[in-house]
Chains A and B, each alone.
Chain A
Amino acid sequence: MLKTIIKRILIGVATMFVLITVTFFLVRLMPGSPFEAENVSTQMIASLEKEYGLDQPLFNQYVLYLEKVLHGDLGISYKKNISVVALIARGMPATMQIGLLAFLMAAVVGIGLGIWQASTKSGFIRGLLVSYATLGVSLPGFVTALLLIVVFGAWLQALPVVGLTSPKHYILPVIAQAFGPIATISRLVKSTYSEAMQMDYVTMARAKGLSKWQISLKHILKNAILPVITYFGPAIAFLLTGSFVVESLFSIPGIGKEFVSAISNRDYTLVLGLSIFIGGVIIIANLLVDILCAIVDPRIKFND
């Protein structure tokens, strides 16, 4: 198993290299310059580009960049004039706090709703849960976030909508971020859980007179959870790398917002730095989830 893990890590490193290379050349293919803005003259742009070495042959810039990355230096953001590493370190706490809380909420509520939907006998509740699941999957994130802001912020004036300065400030952004994943998880759990409910060992467990909770959690869920864990990989990566919509609507100083503005600003170093960081998080999260799956279900072997 150790051998396989090492192999997976090496594949991860290779993936990172490809990611860096492709991103490096792709951002340069975009028309425009990081220094272009409405009131800046052409001469000024040319002199700034020279200053930052952007007039050098592209391949030289690439080699130089790789060298820097190997030394842990992701360069300086052109627009913000601070090092990309510092910028990521500054934006990460907010993004990760929201992401982790949203992930926990999505996992707990999503699994709960999934089980409820699979086991309830009331058609009304099932209908309600199915409509939520459909809504959650199909409603774009910005609609959910804006609705929450308008209803709980502007109308009811119950919750604040700017920043993360108190625990209360976390409620709306976390719900906004978890809304979609909850629906996806509940749908997944519902289908695997109802399948598992039909299994002989469940009937057996009932016959043995085990309590409802014991059957549900120990026997059914344990067997139904595998596809959900597989989904956790991309989900946690998605949640931890931040959401542009949630971060910009709730004015949260995270990296998701940074990423999108870096692209439209042509802030090359920042786009690359964030790609490397987010790519790293995704690779690690997926690796951990794969290993976790193998542990939960011993039938999954790591022998390729």
Chain B
Amino acid sequence: MTRFAKTLSVFLALALVALGLAACGGSQAPISTGSSNPGGAATPAAGTEKGIIIRMEPETGTLDPAGNSSTTYWNYSAYALAPLVELASDGSYDFIIAESCDINEDNTVFTFHFREGAAWSDGSPCTPADYINTMQRALDPACGSGYSDFLFKIKNGKAIYEGSADISTLGVEAPDDKTLVITLEEPCQYFLDLLFLPVFYPSHAELATETNGDWCFDPARSVANGPFYLAEYVPEQYILLKKNPYYVQKDRISLDYIKLLAIADTQSAISAYKTGEVDLTGADYTVLAEYEGKGDLVVLPGMTTYYTLLNWDREPLSNPLVREALSLAIDRDAIAASAGKGSYEPTSFFVAKYMTSKLTGQGKKWGEEVDPLVTLNIERAQQLLAEAGFPNGEGFPELSFKYPAMEVEAAIAQSLQAQWKQNLGIMVSLESQEYQVNISDRRAGDFDICRMRWTADYADPTTFLSMYTGSASYNDSGVASAKYEELLALSERESDPAKRFQILHDAEKALVAEDFAFIPTLAGIGVTLRNPKIGNIVINPSRNSPFYKYATLAD
């Protein structure tokens, strides 16, 4: 070996190691330069502090309510940011930062009166300007928020977003530091229900000026007006939140800290629950048998409806008789059984069946108030199919059913395929697609039959029912139901809640059980594992998901 080769070989061996070691040294230090927030940052643990560790899905998006807020934001804001008003478990309004709200007669002007002492975690007062700050920034299309269109309800909101009006014309004003007046474009009965959406949350008017900026992850600049403040943020690993001494309703808070731990995989999260590394985690049906009857298990019906789109622009689905036949020929219990009992429930409603309804004023659920919209009737289905010109399915073209490659979607599709074949004698070919491909085919209207799923954005049936008007951007299957659209328009003019909910029930019936626009099949159920020592878990009716900010921890 030459001298050169020897030197080189030493160098190379070192280089190989360096290639690996290069970045190893400076492992990620938590970002905690904070002096703006009280107490700076320290790891929890140490004796007397009471706290819980909650699993969260790994990071996506920013913590800025005006930005491209996503899963991480929802996890964070539930503890760190406080809305003006939120829904309590029983469906009533729980005033948080606002202490009251005056609403004018036709539901177009909402005047919020702020609580005395509302403050941010750095001690500065929380004022209407902080709420206006988020709204104004979220009306810049560059903000990347998926919720900007909810601001279109506010006067000039849409015009500002589209660039045809100046931001100063937005229908929000603060006559003084304790009053926020919001003027709407049109009457909206459920406006208060929308206030838990990110765009209606506050961001500090002086500190949070750069949309999607780094400030939101920096404990020094990312202040909180909610029960907990950001003490430590370690990207992709955890978020540590500590009790905010300046929170205006701090008497309601019992925990000293909450740690949100990022775990991507559900099975890993379940294992982490078993090892005691997390106290709370979303799980799935696989744990139901193991924890049956134990205090660990929290089962809550979700606000998600799974349904199957039929393309009205394609033969023979354009024929209402065919759609009705397809709808009547299926047994929803069988679909739920194949998708995993305990994780899914059959439903014939489009609106989430567990949404709190205002029809009776008794806090009943949407699906409890009226009879199921569609029930299994094979004989009638066969008759309808014959009327449509396909006796026993003869001459019926083979349709394709597109769905994303996900367990539950495959179960629904396979179950429908089998039932239609058995009950009606028609063939449907299954086309499993990658998730994004499926969305883009659906958006383009390129399908015969396609899976769809919708989760309530807010606690009013219109979060579902506004989707299938002729002009709605989600109407991918060419639905054109005149009666439904008429009723929906009527509901907007009705100010009596009971009457309005009756109209909405009728509108849903027209859509699903008269025009058979699509086929609702399953309702999702949320399964959570929680450390039995944790008490006072509050259910947020907006999403029917558990809230842990008021949680207590037994010794």
Contact = CB atoms under 8 A, between A and B. Distances in A.
Interface of A: 1, 30-33, 35-44, 47-48, 50-51, 79-82, 89-94, 96-97, 99-100, 103, 146, 149-150, 153-154, 157, 160-163, 236, 240, 248-251, 253, 257, 261, 264-266, 281, 284-285, 288-289, 291-292, 294-296, 298
B196 to A, nearest CB: 14
B104 interface: no
Contacts of B278: 162
B20 A295 contact: no
B46 interface: no
Given A39-B146, A42-B473, A81-B61, A295 B8 contact: yes
A153 B60 contact: no
Nearest to A165: B237
B20 A291 contact: no
B168 interface: no
Contacts of A35: 144
A277 to B, nearest CB: 11
B24 A93 contact: yes
Given A162-B278, A288-B16, A41 B142 contact: no
Given A31-B437, A153-B275, A161-B277, 4 more contacts: A93-B24, A96-B24, A150-B271, A154-B274
A50 B1 CA distance: 61
Contacts of B554: none
Contact of B268 (A47, A250, A264, A296): A250
A36 B16 contact: no
Nearest to A88: B23
A264 B436 contact: yes
B235 interface: yes
Contacts of A163: 237-238, 261
A136 B153 CA distance: 59
Nearest to B26: A93
A44 B146 contact: yes
B429 interface: no
Name B's interface SS: mixed
A38 to B, nearest CB: 7
Contacts of A154: 270-271, 274-275
Nearest to B437: A31
A92 B59 contact: no
A253 B24 contact: no
B19 A284 contact: yes
Nearest to A247: B264
B454 A253 contact: no
Contact of B146 (A40, A81, A91, A285): A40
Nearest to A33: B440
Nearest to A50: B141
Contact of B20 (A81, A103, A250): A103
Nearest to B25: A93
Contacts of A92: 22-23
B23 A96 contact: yes
Residue from B59, B62, B68, B148 having most chain A Cβ neighbours under 10 A:
B68
B24 A157 contact: no
Nearest to B274: A154
B356 interface: no
A298 B275 contact: no
A47 B141 contact: yes
Contacts of A298: 1, 5
A162 B277 contact: yes
Contacts of A281: 19
B473 A251 contact: no
B48 to A, nearest CB: 22
Contacts of B61: 79-81
B474 interface: yes
A240 B17 CA distance: 11
Contacts of A103: 20
A160 B261 CA distance: 13
**Which residue, B8, B236, B437, has most C-beta atoms of chain A within 10 A?**
B236
Contacts of A289: 16
A34 B289 CA distance: 39
Contacts of B4: 1
A291 B12 contact: yes
Nearest to B68: A81
Nearest to A245: B265
Given A41-B149, A43-B473, A288-B19, A251 B235 contact: no
Given A90-B28, A257-B264, A291-B12, A31 B440 contact: yes
Nearest to A244: B264
B427 interface: no
Contact of A295 (B1, B23, B212): B1
Given A154-B271, A249-B265, A80 B60 contact: yes
Given A81-B212, A240-B19, A240-B20, A161 B272 contact: yes
Interface string B52-69: 000000111110000110
A198 B435 CA distance: 56
B272 A295 contact: no
A277 B106 CA distance: 59
Contacts of B274: 153-154, 157
B268 A251 contact: yes
A292 B12 contact: yes
A150 B9 CA distance: 43
Nearest to A34: B436
The 9 closest A-B pairs by CB, nearest first: A253-B236, A32-B436, A100-B20, A41-B473, A154-B274, A295-B9, A31-B440, A40-B146, A248-B264
Interface in B21-54: 21-24, 26-28
Q: Which of A35, A42, A50, A264 is packed against the most chain B CB atoms within 10 Å?
A: A42
Nearest to B214: A82
A298 B17 CA distance: 23
B272 to A, nearest CB: 5
A74 to B, nearest CB: 16
B263 interface: yes
8 contacts: A43-B149, A47-B141, A80-B60, A153-B275, A157-B274, A251-B268, A253-B234, A288-B16
Interface string B219-232: 00000000000000
Contact of A31 (B19, B262, B441): B441
A295 to B, nearest CB: 4
Contacts of A41: 149, 473-474
A294 B272 CA distance: 47
A50 B142 CA distance: 9
A217 to B, nearest CB: 17
B400 interface: no
A241 to B, nearest CB: 11
Interface string B277-294: 110000000000000000
Nearest to A145: B268
B24 A97 contact: yes
B506 to A, nearest CB: 26
A279 to B, nearest CB: 14
Nearest to B27: A93
B337 interface: no
B283 to A, nearest CB: 13
A82 B60 CA distance: 11
Contacts of A44: 146, 148-149
B554 to A, nearest CB: 22
Contacts of B12: 288, 291-292, 295
